[in-house]
Amino acid sequence: MIRSLALWRGSLFNRGAFILRADYMYLDVVHLRAFYDLPLGQLLRGLIGAPVERMWPDIKGQSLLGIGYAGPFMRSYLGSADRLVAAMPAPQGAIHWPREKDNACALIEDGALPFHDATFDRIMLVHALDHCSDPSAMLREAWRVLAPGGRLIAVVPNRRGLWARSELSPFGYGRPYSGRQLKELLKNCQFNVTGDSEALFMPPSRSIGIQRAARTWEALGHRFWPAFAGILIMEAEKVVFRSLPADGKKSRLGVLRPVFIPDGAATGLKPVRRTQSDIS
């Protein structure tokens, strides 16, 4: 613990904590584990874990896959789930998990999970969609290994929140999302959103006083400023069949219209149709 605290005070999450690969970056698994061993990390584990456990109060007899660094939030299911697997991306690295039992960790690639189709009943993504290079590819793989009707929980930093702008935690690195963006991403990857929640309303701080009042911050935040939570937690269900438009028009699934373009606004661009003479 003393060594972890020394690492933290020495700017644990600095440039050296990143592993750079192409156009995306992961935090090193050693730094992630060190953070969640610290008092602030343990506090965040409880504040984020509470709404997760409300969504999934009991998964007895079911199998759970954690992608990214979900181990701290999977621990509450150690005694009830039939099978737990912590899948950690190769750029991030992997460690033995859980510490007190036989290893249930697998080293994976973002877009190629080493599991058969429909293997798991539940999937939890933490420090995953915000760090991977292709979130859609990761979700498509999650969809593949999830059983029909299976549930998924995604935990991501909120674009509006203060924690996405702070380097005090792993949630200050990577790609933040708005609620609308995360919902559209899940929808386009054949998931139906069934519930959502928020967490981390306390300001990012090492202050002992602020940390002691964390529960009060959570209660006030849920009531008065839910849009400015630090973390978004969204539950979704695997959709096996994708419906087609009833009027026969071409489906728009997979194509997003940005919010910053108002309805009816002209984009100034027209589709180009190539003729046979153009090709020749």
DSSP characters over the chain: -HHHHHHHHTTSSSGGGEEEETTEEEE-HHHHHHHHHSHHHHHHHHHHHHHHHHH-S--TT-EEEEEES-HHHHGGGTTT-SEEEEEEETTT----SSTTSS--EEEEBTTB-SS-TT-EEEEEEESSTTTSS-HHHHHHHHHHHEEEEEEEEEEEEBTTSSGGG-SSSGGGSS--B-HHHHHHHHHHTTEEEEEEEEE--SPS---HHHHHTHHHHHHHHHHH-GGG-SEEEEEEEE-SS----TT-PPP-TT----TTS-TT---S-------HHHH-
Closest to 120 (Cα-Cα) out of 97, 96, 98, 104: 104
What's the confidence (pLDDT) of residue 259? 61
What's the confidence (pLDDT) of residue 111? 85
Residue 249 structure tokens: 């028009």
Per-residue pLDDT of the chain (280 residues; tens, 9 = 90+): 433 433 333 444 444 443 333 345 789 999 999 999 999 999 999 999 999 999 999 999 999 999 999 999 999 999 899 999 999 999 999 999 999 899 999 999 988 999 999 999 999 999 999 999 999 999 999 999 999 999 999 999 999 999 999 999 999 998 999 999 999 999 999 999 999 999 999 999 999 999 999 999 999 999 999 999 999 999 999 998 755 555 545 444 455 556 655 666 655 555 555 555 554 5
Cis? peptide before 203, omega within 30° of 0: no
Nearest-angstrom CA–CA distance, 230 and 20: 25
Contact 233, 129 (CB under 8 A): no
CA 30 to chain centre: 19
- Is the entire prediction scored with pTM above 0.75? yes
What's the confidence (pLDDT) of residue 110? 83
What's the confidence (pLDDT) of residue 16? 40
